[in-house]
């Protein structure tokens, strides 16, 4: 099965080379979608050996993932993996995500930070932001996963072909999840470890996501 790892990147010069090298060592084909970075992300990604698609204008992480996913499927991927450029995900966890897809046990697999205790989440995130995010996703989208905001996911090309998320920016994670649940695909969560370099999505970021979801629903 052909696996293509899609990495959206925006100003990730600090981490991108290491991430691509690790993926290459593990034997994964990688496509980096640069979202108009102002630093040397593109040069470094190309030098590290990844295929690089460069957005002409900055459109957000959701849009970059969409470009990369479409490109991967058009280039023969059987499985598409969404991976972060900032070195917070571990390459060895990809195999965990791929297993249920390869055995035909699931159509979509999400990495979850909450299935074991290996991820050291900041307190505010663990005790307040994530429970709230889980509640909002449960109410708005009827999603009952342990980690609805996880950006580490893998799915078959059949799912990728039908997944048509419209959120360009940070709200894409919630929308992708909602579309997958609505599509009736078989979903599985596997434990992953996330190494935090920075806090990530803040409380105000959560409200921004809600605003984006609301506007997109009406437009």
Q: Give me the residues that bind other proteins (CB under 8 A), please.
A: 33, 51, 53-57, 59, 63, 66-67, 70-71, 74, 166, 168, 215-216, 218-219
Nearest residue (CB) to other proteins, 109 versus 176: 176
The residue count of the chain comes to: 219
Smallest separation (angstroms) from other proteins to the CB of 54: 6
Give dist(CA 6, CA 85) in Å, integer: 9
For 96, the 3-state DSSP assignment is helix
Nearest residue (CB) to other proteins, 40 versus 58: 58
What lies within 8 Å, CB to CB, of 47 at 6+ separation is 17
Nearest residue (CB) to other proteins, 45 versus 109: 45
Smallest separation (angstroms) from other proteins to the CB of 179: 15
Smallest separation (angstroms) from other proteins to the CB of 68: 10
Nearest residue (CB) to other proteins, 166 versus 208: 166
Q: What tokens does 200 get?
A: 């990530």
Cβ atoms 112, 97 nearer than 8 A: no
Nearest residue (CB) to other proteins, 204 versus 219: 219
Closest CA to 143 of 107, 173, 99: 173
For helices 16-25 and 41-48, what crossing angle results, to 10°?
Answer: 20
What lies within 8 Å, CB to CB, of 159 at 6+ separation is 107, 108, 180, 183, 185
Nearest residue (CB) to other proteins, 33 versus 209: 33
E strands, 89-181, are: 108-112, 153-156
Smallest separation (angstroms) from other proteins to the CB of 188: 29
Smallest separation (angstroms) from other proteins to the CB of 98: 26
Smallest separation (angstroms) from other proteins to the CB of 182: 19
């Amino acid at each position: 099965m052909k696996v293509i790892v899609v990495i959206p990147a925006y100003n990730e010069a600090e981490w991108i080379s290491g991430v691509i090298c690790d993926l290459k060592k593990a034997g994964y084909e990688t496509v980096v979608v640069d979202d108009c970075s102002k630093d040397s992300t593109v040069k470094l990604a190309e030098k590290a050996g990844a295929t690089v698609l460069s957005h002409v204008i900055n459109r957000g992480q959701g849009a970059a993932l969409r470009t990369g996913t479409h490109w991967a499927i058009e280039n023969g991927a059987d499985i598409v993996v969404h991976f972060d450029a900032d070195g917070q995900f571990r390459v060895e966890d990809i195999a965990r995500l791929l297993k249920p897809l390869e055995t035909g046990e699931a159509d979509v697999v999400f990495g979850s930070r909450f299935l074991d205790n290996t991820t050291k989440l900041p307190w505010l995130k663990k005790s307040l932001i994530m429970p709230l995010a889980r509640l909002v996703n449960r109410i708005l989208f009827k999603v009952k996963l342990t980690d609805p905001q996880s950006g580490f996911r893998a799915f078959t090309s059949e799912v990728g072909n039908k997944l048509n998320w419209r959120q360009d920016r940070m709200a894409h994670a919630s929308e992708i999840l909602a579309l997958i649940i609505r599509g009736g695909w078989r979903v599985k969560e596997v434990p992953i470890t996330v190494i935090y370099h920075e806090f990530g999505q803040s409380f105000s970021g959560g409200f921004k996501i809600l605003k984006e979801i609301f506007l997109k629903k009406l437009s």
